[in-house]
Amino acid sequence: MIATKGGYLRRGPNQWVENGNPEHLRFACESSLRRLRLDRIDLYQLHRIDSKVPTGDQIGLLRDLQTEGKIKHIGLSEVSKSQVRYARTMVEIVSVQNRYSVTDRGSEDVLEYCEQDRIAFIPWFPLAAGRVSKTDSPLHEVASQLGATPSQVALAWLLARSPVMLPIPGTSRVDHLEENVAAAGLKISARELQELDRLARVK
């Protein structure tokens, strides 16, 4: 499955701004189709809901692209529960991608909503840019008990947390890829889950 996003505009080095203007969203999607050499994108996600543009206009454009056959499924990113609920009055939403990890559970209510209606939840920043590897954390303690790395435990925790969880950790090396894949085989006990709850940071 090929998934990509639209709704951000680059203003300079490391400078991105939300752009939910329907004309921009259409341009972004059609540009992605050309670059990916596809007739249809399997999953197209709105990068952010732009507060400067009516939400209905942004979701409506995605609906139009879907009707035209340019995208198959629609997803949202960095949204609240109420925003997901509103979008679903216009289109079917199959996925939500919010920041979420064993150390950052600010989107707990959104995850629970997704679980309720079987919407895929794709946590971004699932390893907190390596901060999960701190040696003085409960995560490191559990990793030592399991003979695993802290990153593997962080991914295993996500998989254990919910049946709709689809973590997609980035990797640039084969050994990291293999390490991430091996996390799927880790079994975390109820006691270890309680220990990991000490890491929670809720907004």
Tokens at 38, concatenated: 């596809």
How confident is the prediction along the chain (203 residues), in pLDDT tens digits per residue?
Answer: 899 999 987 776 777 789 999 999 999 999 999 999 999 999 999 999 999 999 999 999 999 999 999 999 999 999 999 999 999 999 999 999 999 998 888 999 999 999 999 999 999 888 775 566 565 667 888 888 888 888 899 899 999 999 999 998 877 788 888 888 888 888 888 888 888 877 765 44
Domains of the chain: 1-97 (3.20.20.100), 128-203 (no CATH)
Q: Please, is 81 exposed, middle or buried when counting C-beta atoms within 10 Å of its C-beta (0-12, 13-18, 19+)?
A: middle
C-alpha of 190 from chain center: 25
Query: Could you tell me the pTM of the whole model?
Result: 0.88
Which residues neighbour 164 within 8 Å (Cβ) at sequence distance 6 or greater?
Answer: 111, 114, 115, 118, 119, 120, 121
Distance CA 193, CA 179 (A): 21
